[in-house]
């Protein structure tokens, strides 16, 4: 059975980065244009028209690959209007044409997501996204932080969990994840009271 993986997350949780990663594998048809361009608006995502009208899924050519990936955030911008994807109708239409549908929900530090949304969209929509994701049955969760920490090892685990091909050793991965964009939100803490406790317990008691 052909598989359609839906990548979704709160706005600012890394849809573009994950779309690039999943587009690397030759067995997967994804957002390949992102591999040549750093950033493209979601209105140009390969299945953007289908998110606006899921009936259009039946008019697509599904004969070229066995694995497909589409990416959409919650909310996504539809001609300047923040819009919640109609996941139920989209999934029903995909299943009606014989596709197995899987969900991968993107995760990132909630404080950073909130700051990102406030900076870019002038409002925090994280709560709205969490309500939508709570309705998914057994989604996989993809962590921005774990990806940057464990890299290839983490992607291998995800590929097994999703039963979905990921190009875990592709040399282009290094460029895709070389910048941890969380870093710009951090500032070092010179001292915290728990530091003293840690120092004390690391020595032998006298």
Mapped onto helix, strand or coil, the DSSP state of residue 192 is coil
44 in Cβ contact with 77 (< 8 Å):
no
pLDDT value of position 202:
65
If you average pLDDT over residues 21-28, what whole number do you get? 98
Is residue 4 predicted with pLDDT exceeding 70?
Answer: yes
Mapped onto helix, strand or coil, the DSSP state of residue 153 is helix
Is residue 80 predicted with pLDDT exceeding 90?
Answer: no
pLDDT value of position 192:
78
End-to-end C-alpha distance for the chain, whole angstroms = 66
Q: Which residues, 6+ apart, have CB-to-CB distance to 66 below 8 Å?
A: 2, 3, 27
Predicted structure pTM score? 0.92
If you average pLDDT over residues 81-86, what whole number do you get? 93
pLDDT value of position 206:
46
Is residue 77 predicted with pLDDT exceeding 70?
Answer: yes
pLDDT value of position 132:
97
Phi and psi at residue 82, in whole multiples of 5°? -70, 120
If you average pLDDT over residues 139-168, what whole number do you get? 98
3 in Cβ contact with 18 (< 8 Å):
no
pLDDT value of position 204:
61
Cα dist from 73 to 9, 26, 69, 82, 106, whole Å: 5, 24, 13, 10, 9
Mapped onto helix, strand or coil, the DSSP state of residue 4 is strand
pLDDT value of position 203:
61
pLDDT value of position 191:
82
Count CB-CB contacts under 10 A for residue 64: 8
pLDDT in tens, 182-205: 999 988 888 878 877 777 776 665
Task: Pick 79 or 8 by higher pLDDT.
Answer: 8
Is residue 58 predicted with pLDDT exceeding 60?
Answer: yes
What is the distance between the alpha carbons of residues 150 and 152, in angstroms, rounded to a whole number? 6
Is residue 179 predicted with pLDDT exceeding 90?
Answer: yes
Instruction: List, as one string, the DSSP characters of 28-58.
Output: EES-GGGGTSS---GGGSTTHHHHH-GGGGG
Fold of the 3-179 domain:
Rossmann fold (3.40.50)
Residue for token pair 């048809």: 29
pLDDT value of position 195:
76
Residue for token pair 């009936």: 55
pLDDT value of position 198:
73
Sequence-distant contacts of 174-178: CB under 8 A, at least 24 apart: 176/17, 176/20, 176/21, 177/17, 177/21, 177/147, 177/148, 177/151
């Amino acid at each position: 059975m052909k598989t359609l993986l839906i990548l979704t997350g709160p706005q600012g949780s890394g849809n573009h980065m994950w779309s690039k990663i999943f587009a690397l594998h030759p067995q997967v048809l994804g957002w390949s244009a992102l591999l040549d361009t750093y950033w493209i608006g979601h209105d140009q995502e390969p299945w953007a028209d289908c998110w606006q009208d899921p009936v259009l899924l039946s008019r697509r050519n599904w004969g070229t690959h066995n694995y497909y990936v589409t990416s959409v955030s919650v909310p996504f911008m539809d001609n300047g209007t923040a819009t919640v994807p109609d996941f139920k109708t989209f999934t029903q239409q995909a299943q009606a044409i014989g596709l197995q549908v899987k969900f991968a929900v993107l995760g990132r530090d909630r404080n950073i997501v909130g700051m990102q949304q406030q900076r870019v969209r002038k409002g925090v929509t994280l709560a709205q996204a969490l309500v939508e994701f709570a309705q998914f049955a057994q989604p996989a969760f993809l962590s921005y932080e774990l990806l940057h920490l464990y890299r290839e090892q983490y992607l291998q685990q995800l590929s097994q969990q999703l039963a979905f091909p990921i190009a875990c050793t592709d040399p282009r991965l290094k460029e895709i994840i070389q910048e941890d964009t969380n870093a710009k939100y951090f500032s070092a803490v010179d001292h915290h009271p728990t530091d003293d406790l840690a120092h004390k317990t690391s020595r032998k008691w006298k």
